[in-house]
Amino acid sequence: MANSKVAIVFTGGTISMKVDPRIHAAIPALSSEEILAMVTNIENFADIEIINFGNYPSPHITPNMMMDLSRLVKKTISRDDITGVVVTHGTDTLEETAYLLDLTINSKKPIIVAGAMRNSSELGYDGSSNLSAAICTAISPKSNGKGVLVVMNNEVNAASEVTKTNTLSLDTFKSPEFGPLGVVDNDEVIYYRDIISKEFIDTDKIENKVLLLKSAPGIGSDIINYSIDCGYKGIVIEGLGRGNVPPSMVDGIVNSISKGIPVVLVSRCPTGRVLDTYGYEGGGKHLRQLGVIFGGNLPGQKARIKLMLSLGMTDDMGTIRNIFEKNMYK
């Protein structure tokens, strides 16, 4: 039987890096062909098509570049000869790109995002094992209909749930709320559970001016008001605990909502959703009465991607609220 065909879109990241002896630090250096040559025996499993998007450290990837990547992956996955697409990416912003691809592409075929924690000059480079596991996940029929997946360290996680949890560990990508979807055991993908839901935001545009702000004791409204003066179109606040903010932030929130600028609330806690439990000034109940949108259990960086895409599609506050709150609150 002929091999399945997988397109690998290379974007850069540590998987493409080695240490430059002049500066003693890792920089993008490997070509796609050099990376693929280290994935030994992969020709026995899949035919690979290389697509070069670029060779960027992931802190250099902008939301507009993520949208360009989304268009490229959408075009590629719609080809009849392609079984699945793998995207290589730096791990620092991998969860944002993976989530954006998940929200903007409505295909049943597997789209896998993978990277590496150790560059190719380090002992135990994990780029080749992560890439082979990603390719095996992409050719497995069991991966169909699961949205965009992140495969690292032989674990399969949903792009909508996964986050980078450790600066160093190979086992850094975790879904702290729900756990992994499955594992890659040699070339076999074993799923323990299905995805919880698949969301789709039908937009080709993204709004770049969305602020992400973490709350902490004594944080005031000045930065919120300043961002409004600078033309920001949306604000995500990582609130305290169950979804509360210091009273000193309330003025800024009121100012924002009165100007039609949506404020989305998530929690700075790593797990658990936000809810309108507390009635004091700045508590969740008060924020909800002011018109704050509740962002469920998303981490701030992913809520920001969702708000950027929502604002790309519409500036209607009710529609944006529905995108965030449907299925989540009574």
What does the binding site for ligand ASP look like in residue numbers (CB under 6 A)? 13-14, 57-58, 90-92, 115, 117
Whole-angstrom distance, CA of residue 102 vs CA of residue 91: 17
Instruction: Report in angstroms how near the CB of residue 82 gets to ligand ASP at its nearest.
Output: 25
Instruction: Report in angstroms how near the CB of residue 18 gets to ligand ASP at its nearest.
Output: 12
Whole-angstrom distance, CA of residue 234 vs CA of residue 266: 14
Residue in 226, 234, 198 with CA at minimum distance from that of residue 327: 198
Contacts of 171 (CB under 8 A, 6+ apart): 153, 155
Between 44 and 167, CB nearer to ligand ASP: 167
Between 14 and 76, CB nearer to ligand ASP: 14
Between 119 and 297, CB nearer to ligand ASP: 119
Alpha helix locations (H) across the chain?
32-37, 63-77, 94-104, 127-139, 222-229, 250-258, 284-290, 300-313, 317-325
**HSE-CB of 66 using CA atoms within 13 angstroms:** 30
Instruction: Report in angstroms how near the CB of residue 24 gets to ligand ASP at its nearest.
Output: 16
Between 133 and 219, CB nearer to ligand ASP: 133
Residue nearest to ligand ASP (CB): 90
Instruction: Report in angstroms how near the CB of residue 155 gets to ligand ASP at its nearest.
Output: 16
Q: Which two tokens stand for residue 274?
A: 């936000």
Q: Which residues are catalytic?
A: 14
Whole-angstrom distance, CA of residue 292 vs CA of residue 246: 15
Between 74 and 118, CB nearer to ligand ASP: 118
Strands 148-152 and 155-158: antiparallel
Instruction: Report in angstroms how near the CB of residue 56 gets to ligand ASP at its nearest.
Output: 7
Residue in 16, 31, 97 with CA at minimum distance from that of residue 63: 97
Between 173 and 294, CB nearer to ligand ASP: 173
Contacts of 53 (CB under 8 A, 6+ apart): 9, 10, 11, 68, 69, 72, 87
**HSE-CB of 19 using CA atoms within 13 angstroms:** 9
151, burial (CB in 10 Å: exposed 0-12, middle 13-18, buried 19+): buried
User: Please, what is the angle between helix 317-325 and helix 300-313, to 10°?
Assistant: 140
Residue in 264, 216, 275 with CA at minimum distance from that of residue 240: 216
Instruction: Report in angstroms how near the CB of residue 23 gets to ligand ASP at its nearest.
Output: 15
